[in-house]
Amino acid sequence: MTVGVVSFLRGQAWIWSFLATAAVWMATIIFTGGVGGGQILTAALSFAIFTVIVGIGQMFVITTGPGNVDLSIPATMALSGAVTTKLMDTQNELIALGVLVALGIGICVGVFNYLLIRLLRIPPIIATLSASFLVQSTAIAYGRGLRIKPPPALADFTTAQIAGVPVLALCGLAFTAIMGLVLARTMYGRSVLAVGQNMRAAWLAGINVERTRLMTYMLSAMLAGLSGLLLSGFSGGSSLNMGEEYLLASIAVVVIGGTSVAGGRANVPGIWGAALFLYLLVTMLNTFGASAGLRLILSGLIIITVITLAGGGERKR
Amino acid sequence: MTRPPQQIVDLTDVAMSFGAVRALAGVDLAVAAGECVGLVGHNGAGKSTLVNVLAGGLIPDRGRIKVAGEDITHRFNVRTAHQHGIRCVFQELSLCPNLTVAENARIFHARLRGMSWKRRAAALIGAKLDEIFPGHDILPHDIIGDLSIGRRQMVEIARAFTVTVEPLDLVILDEPTSSLDAVTAGQLLAFVRRQVAMGTSVILISHMLGEVLGTCSRIVVMKDGGVVAAKPAAAFNRESLVSAMGTVVEVQGVAPRPEIAGSRQGEVMVEARSRRQLNDRKLVAHRGEVIGLAGLAGHGQTRMLLQIFAAAGKGDLFAEVRGPVAIIAGDRQTDGIFPLWSIGQNVTIRSLRGMVRRLLIDSDQERAMAATWQQKMRIKTPNMDDNILTLSGGNQQKALFARALGSDAGIVLMDDPMRGVDVGTKIEVYDRIRQEAAGGRTFLWYTTEIDELKYCDHVYVFRNGIIVDDIPRDELTEARVLSASFHEAA
């Protein structure tokens, strides 16, 4: 019985990110002598949810095949945050409009990214990076760096907790489950997986390859836009550099979570494990009293180690 | 040299399993110097596994490997195999597509280095191509990826026979002619006979029994991972070979389609013109017809099929297509299978759209379709949920047939789909094509095998990208197809 469970778990790539998360958490509370274990988890869930949302978008993009990546996520978050906080102007009634605008910004950025890739035949890494300069500049020109408070209801919602569990994290969990279903059981999800394995074979199997790619870049940018709105609610207003850390984080959670960088194989639960791991890693190093420089070096080394371990089984195929 | 006839390789009791599938169940095989051994058997009989063991690519679970009389079981790998003069031409081509012909030759020969290695590599491979395939049109600086699959196969074969410093004792040819047209295949077999006469040993694996009977001195028949017969070629004929392989279906005298002779009628499903065609000759397919696309390999037949595929649903200047289209790829590695998916997922992908209920794909329906088509195509696997790569090449191809035939497509395009498929399977598939055509499906079938054209109602012959002849069924002869294929080149 136990042997069965163990061998089942060994086959799941996401298990590594959760094991790493558990190890880091244990190390932290052993160091503090068991103090604050719960609070650390609450904080981890509160912050990790933003990485999860953009990470899922990035996962779909990376799964559509080698070379596909969305580097415009941070800029889209910044633009969405700047535009929506100004638009909502601290009024609760305008939240719904703000959400629509955040998603609309995502759609525009996604379509723009796709057009650069498709019409101008620019590699995605360069197309999304150059698009992100345009988007970021728009955010700067539009927001002028003013920090506007979010509507109170949005701030309450993004910081609310039920018995120490952030409401946003619960919503995120439901969202993750839905996206897992989308990937495995919808025509769009299957198309993404097929295109990621072999674009030509997917075309010949009757899949609309270009529509799949367009929808994927749109999805990623829409999630970035939504995440920008939620993050500005969570942190009491938007700032132009609030998306910065999500450039590496969105890619790292995809890879650590067990999604194949070569495309065609995605891993939804792994995104959660990896996002929690990234947050707890920083917490642990802070608790140990590591200096900023040392913290970054150790984070880098540990991420490399986990990616190597998580990807180890896959490379044998 | 007056050494006695010597065993180049000697395998004893070699066994190998992949998970639950037993690919080799204790095989003995010895090849003497200057011998041409034919290796035949069904898909999944273990031929490709045996070849991979011989080439050093797979370490068997059990057994002994002797090369030139020396037991090297424990240090046998791709490198030592090469050092001992064993070369292999694989069914799944092993050239690097992003490199040129000459650069690919260099990969084989570490000796080609220094200032002018490119020139020497080009001379080496060019001379060998000229020797095996006189009149070929491959240049040493061509990029492999730009060549048709037939030309890639020619380069792969020529490369295996090039010699610099390492010896050349045994060449294993795994389905070498399946991508070649009749003429180049003939050139290759003639070359093989010359090589064997000069003392090089060859193992020839082929589903074309005529080739094996006509070229080999000894024939080894495999079935279910074991050797069931090994006799001099003269002791076999076509029938005894087929019955030794255990094929139940009668091969000779397959009655081609009796009905519809000459009368081309019914709704026009496909009308297409080659972009290079200067006159107004065009390809026309009526409902329920099987249309053959013939000619030498790589003369525009695949391009025509892709053009029709792309035009489906939206139309285009050169092609008019009525109804949904499915394509069965011949080059299954690059055009066909999804390597991360199960057999079932590979079969159902083309039909999923019809299984969506309230936005979600109905899993029961998907499983049911996989099960139905496992039975219909007799895909040999314990479980349709296993990865597609656990299947032998021929069974992978059956899965691709199932994908297209199980779909809603009224028009099915076939891009030389019988590559590396055994005789028994072929007959089953021919039968199914005939049934489906009688049921109103239209088939466009590119094939390099003249025999398969006999199943077609109308044949178009391609040369240099254009249609040079269209032949109704009752006028079809091999001579006419060949003369149209060669008209100017000869």
Tens digit of pLDDT for each residue in B188-198?
999 999 999 98
Nearest residue on chain A to B350, alpha-carbon basis: A205
Q: Where are the domains of chain A?
A: 37-311
Of A53-57, A143-147, B21-25, B51-55, where does the model show the most confidence?
A: A53-57
In which band, very low, low, confident or very high, does the pLDDT at A147 lie, cut at 50, 70 and 90? Answer: confident
Q: Average of pLDDT values for B236-252?
A: 66
| Residue that is written with structure tokens 């009752």 in the block | B474
Which chain A residues are closer than 8 Å to B352 by Cβ? 187, 190
Which chain A residues are closer than 8 Å to B403 by Cβ? 205
Q: Average of pLDDT values for B412-427?
A: 83
**In the beta sheet, which residues pair with residue B170?**
B86, B201
Distance from CA of B224 to the nearest CA of A (A): 25
Which one of B308, B338, B411 makes the best mutation probe of the A interface by having the most chain A beta carbons within 10 Å?
A: B338
Query: Given an 8 Å threshold on Cβ–Cβ distance, is B329 in contact with A201?
Result: yes
Distance from CA of B313 to the nearest CA of A (A): 11
**pLDDT recorded at residue B51:** 87
pLDDT digits (tens, 9 = 90+) for A261-289: 888 999 999 999 999 999 998 888 888 88
Widest Cα–Cα separation across chain A: 61
Evaluate if residue B260 carries a pLDDT over 60: no
Query: Given an 8 Å threshold on Cβ–Cβ distance, is B363 in contact with A198?
Result: no
The answer to whether the CB of B403 falls within 8 A of the CB of B377 is no
Query: Given an 8 Å threshold on Cβ–Cβ distance, is B350 in contact with A190?
Result: no
Nearest-Å Rg of the Cα atoms of chain B is 23
The answer for B427, left when phi > 0, alpha when psi is -120 to 50, beta otherwise, is alpha
In which band, very low, low, confident or very high, does the pLDDT at A2 lie, cut at 50, 70 and 90? Answer: low
Distance from CA of B21 to the nearest CA of A (A): 17
The answer to whether the CB of B206 falls within 8 A of the CB of B123 is no
Which chain B residues are closer than 8 Å to A11 by Cβ? none
Distance from CA of A185 to the nearest CA of B (A): 5
Mean pLDDT of chain B, nearest integer: 84
Evaluate if residue B233 carries a pLDDT over 90: no
Q: Average of pLDDT values for B397-416?
A: 92
Residue type at A204 in one-letter notation: L
For the domain with range A37-311, which CATH number is right: 3.10.50, 3.40.50, 3.40.1130, 1.10.3470? 1.10.3470
Q: Is B249 strand, coil or helix? A: coil
pLDDT digits (tens, 9 = 90+) for A26-68: 999 888 887 788 888 999 999 999 999 999 999 999 999 888 9
Evaluate if residue B157 carries a pLDDT over 60: yes
**ipTM for the assembly:** 0.86
Nearest residue on chain B to A265, alpha-carbon basis: B340
Distance from CA of A64 to the nearest CA of B (A): 13
**C-alpha distance from residue B444 to each of B284, B293, B301, B308 (Å):** 10, 7, 10, 10
CB atoms within 10 A of CB B295: 29
Length of chain A counted residue by residue: 317
Query: Given an 8 Å threshold on Cβ–Cβ distance, is B340 in contact with A190?
Result: no
Query: Given an 8 Å threshold on Cβ–Cβ distance, is A185 in contact with B363?
Result: yes
Of A110-114, B311-315, B409-413, where does the model show the most confidence?
A: A110-114
Q: Average of pLDDT values for B359-367?
A: 92
Query: Given an 8 Å threshold on Cβ–Cβ distance, is B349 in contact with A204?
Result: no
pLDDT digits (tens, 9 = 90+) for B140-151: 999 988 888 788
Evaluate if residue B353 carries a pLDDT over 60: yes
**pLDDT recorded at residue B314:** 73
**pLDDT recorded at residue A4:** 60
pLDDT digits (tens, 9 = 90+) for A173-226: 999 999 999 999 999 999 999 999 999 999 999 999 999 999 999 999 999 999
Q: Average of pLDDT values for B163-173?
A: 86
Query: Given an 8 Å threshold on Cβ–Cβ distance, is B335 in contact with A200?
Result: yes
Question: A315 or A60: whose pLDDT is higher?
Answer: A60
In which band, very low, low, confident or very high, does the pLDDT at B395 lie, cut at 50, 70 and 90? Answer: confident
**Residue of B339, B359, B403 lying closest to A205 (CB–CB):** B403
Q: How many CB pairs under 8 A join A and B?
A: 56
Evaluate if residue B474 carries a pLDDT over 90: no
* Dist CA A107 CA A218 (whole Å): 5
**pLDDT recorded at residue A234:** 93
Q: Average of pLDDT values for B123-147?
A: 90
Nearest residue on chain A to B313, alpha-carbon basis: A206
Evaluate if residue B261 carries a pLDDT over 80: no
Length of chain B counted residue by residue: 490
A127 and B CB contact within 8 Å: no
* Dist CA B445 CA B419 (whole Å): 13
Evaluate if residue B185 carries a pLDDT over 80: yes
Interface of A with B in 198-217 (CB under 8 A): 198, 200-202, 204-207
Q: Average of pLDDT values for A116-127?
A: 93
Q: Which of A255, A262, A259 is nearest to A306 (CA)?
A: A255
**DSSP summary character for residue A245:** T
- Answer positive or negative: Cα dihedral of B121, B54, B391, B436: positive
**pLDDT recorded at residue B465:** 83
Q: Which two tokens stand for residue B392?
A: 């032998």
* Dist CA A178 CA A181 (whole Å): 5
**pLDDT recorded at residue B248:** 44
Which chain B residues are closer than 8 Å to A206 by Cβ? 324, 326, 349-350, 407
In which band, very low, low, confident or very high, does the pLDDT at B253 lie, cut at 50, 70 and 90? Answer: very low
**pLDDT recorded at residue B204:** 92
**Residue of A186, A204, A265 lying closest to B327 (CB–CB):** A204
Give CA angle at B144 (B141, B147), nearest 5°. 100
Nearest residue on chain B to A260, alpha-carbon basis: B340
* Dist CA B149 CA A186 (whole Å): 35
